[in-house]
Amino acid sequence: MGSPDDDDHPRKQAYHHQTHNRYKLKMLLLVILTNLITVYIFTGPSFNFNHLSGYTHHLPLPLWDCATLSQDLNSTKSELTSTHSQIAELHQQLTSTNLLVQSLLIELNRVHELTTTTNQVSEPLMKTLLNDDFTLGVMSNELKLAIGPHKLPLGYSPRMGSNELCPPVGAGCLRFQDELSQYMTYDVGGECPVDDVFAQKLMLKGCEPLPRRRCHPKSPANYVEPTGVPDSLWATPPDTSIIWDPYTCKSYQCLIDRKNVPGYFDCKDCFDLQGREKTRWLFDNGGLDYGIDQVLGIKPHGTIRIGLDIGGGTGTFAARMRERNITIITSSMNLDGPFNSFIASRGLIPIHVSVSQRLPFFENTMDIVHSMHVLSNWIPDAMLEFTLYDIYRVLRPGGLFWLDHFFCLGSQLNQTYVPMLERTGFKKLRWNAGMKLDRGINKNEWYFSALLEKPRI
Ligand SMILES: *[C@@H]1O[C@H](CO)[C@@H](O)[C@H](O)[C@H]1NC(C)=O
Ligand SMILES: *[C@@H]1O[C@H](CO)[C@@H](O)[C@H](O)[C@H]1NC(C)=O
Ligand SMILES: *[C@@H]1O[C@H](CO)[C@@H](O)[C@H](O)[C@H]1NC(C)=O
């Protein structure tokens, strides 16, 4: 237990505290008192400036001068304020004048354009555009309007690099004038002809992009709201969601059953989501079939986020990627079936562009590009090389190009495609080649699959 000294010590401290506190209290009272006296002297009933007059004279500025100064300041301030509001008013007037001039210019241009397009198409431009292949006479007015040129409002030329706009059409359009004219024949503002197959043929022949039209596509009757995600990813859409006119099949069930029908159809078993589609890219066999998770595992988790599947059939690759929170745009043609509508019904993004078309993405943007069964030896070599360079262009540094089941002859593999891929500049991360199992007439048919990377510089 503690000694008596220990016990005593705190009490002594308390005593000292008490005397110290009393002293503090006295000082405080003194301070309050003096303050009260001061307050009384200055604010009391007898206080006025005269009491201090002797004192104020010693200040560098008399209070009298302060008042004038304050007045001066006040008036300067008010003058400033009024000037400010005048400037604001002027500014407003200028803006409205500017707008007026701008709208006048736009109106002028419109009038000018109307006279040129209705009377004659700007001849020299048309000649260069059409390279004399086109006789201007056969162009309908609607076609002329669709492909321009259209004058831009003044002031827009520096940004656009030209004072007129020519909406793009594929150079191939010029070689199929009759078909193009037929495509551009419709009631302006009315319903478009149901001509998707015809239009797509034109695209595939090189008239891509097609000119725009001023008509409404036929709407499917009894359209119902689509299935919600994620169920939509694996749901067969209702037959009422599309127009069946152009296809031999008139229902999705017919398209599903087609896998058992002899004969060639593009992506024959792709519409059956419960069939082969269900297991695609889920397993990696160490050979030609790569698994999505094995491919994604090559990169840090989450860094493959956006990409493109070239010729992606019914969109199953995009669906599997969507389940991994990756957004894939699926390019597809509607060959033998409504592929674009089907992809969209699954809640995925279809784009209707052929493999000939420059990819509509900016360079160094995509994390991944995938393509299965589409890029193959049917594509003329020179064209394929441009396509590969385009894929390289849109991929970001470190981006992946998954070339899935490229079909060719054994001799072409090492002679043509390996050197071409090397020329393009891709880095090989994985490479598998194998004889095609269901070989046809030619016994030397091969596939190769490759995981390529756009190198970082
Ligand atoms: C200056 O303006 C303030 C308020 O804006 C006013 O209180 C003050 O009396 C004015 N002074 C003079 C000298 O006019
Ligand atoms: C996808 O994102 C959602 C929401 O952020 C998250 O709950 C889910 O776990 C993610 N799925 C995968 C496979 O990463
Ligand atoms: C291609 O070349 C590689 C190595 O140079 C060789 O192993 C392979 O057998 C060749 N492939 C074919 C199909 O000729």
Residue ID of nearest Cα to ligand 2 atom 12: 324
Whether the pLDDT of residue 176 is over 90: the answer is yes
The 10s digit of each residue's pLDDT in 388-417 is 999 999 999 999 999 999 999 999 999 999
DSSP H or E stretch at residue 330: strand 327-331
Q: Nearest C-alpha to atom 4 of ligand 1 is from which residue?
A: 74
**pLDDT at site 107:** 66
- How far apart are the CA of 285 and the centre of ligand 2, in A? 26
Residue 440 host element (H or E)? none
**Is pLDDT above 50 for 110?**
yes
Ligand 1 atom closest to Cα of 68? 13
Contact 13, 5 (CB under 8 A): no
Q: What's residue 195's pLDDT?
A: 94
Q: Catalogue all structural domains in the chain, each as residue range(s) with its CATH number.
A: 123-204 (no CATH), 231-453 (3.40.50.150)
* Spacing, Cα 89 to ligand 1 middle (Å): 27
If one counts every other C-beta atom within 10 angstroms of the C-beta of residue 295, the result is: 20
Over residues 330-345, mean pLDDT:
95
Digit-coded pLDDT (tens) for 214-254: 999 999 999 999 999 999 999 999 999 999 988 889 999 99
What pLDDT was estimated at residue 240? Answer: 94
Atom 4 of ligand 3: nearest residue by CA position: 414
The answer on pLDDT for 134 being more than 70 is no
Q: Which of 222, 209, 216, 169 is nearest to 193 (CA)?
A: 216
Average pLDDT over residues 125-150: 67
Which residue is closest in CA terms to ligand 1's atom 13? 71
Per-residue model confidence (pLDDT) at position 57: 44
Return the ligand 2 atom nearest residue 323 CA.
13
- Categorize the per-residue pLDDT at 112 as very low, low, confident or very high, splitting at 50, 70 and 90: low
pTM: predicted TM-score of the whole model, two decimal places: 0.70
pLDDT higher than threshold 90 for residue 93: no
Closest Cα partner for 370 from 393, 399, 344? 399
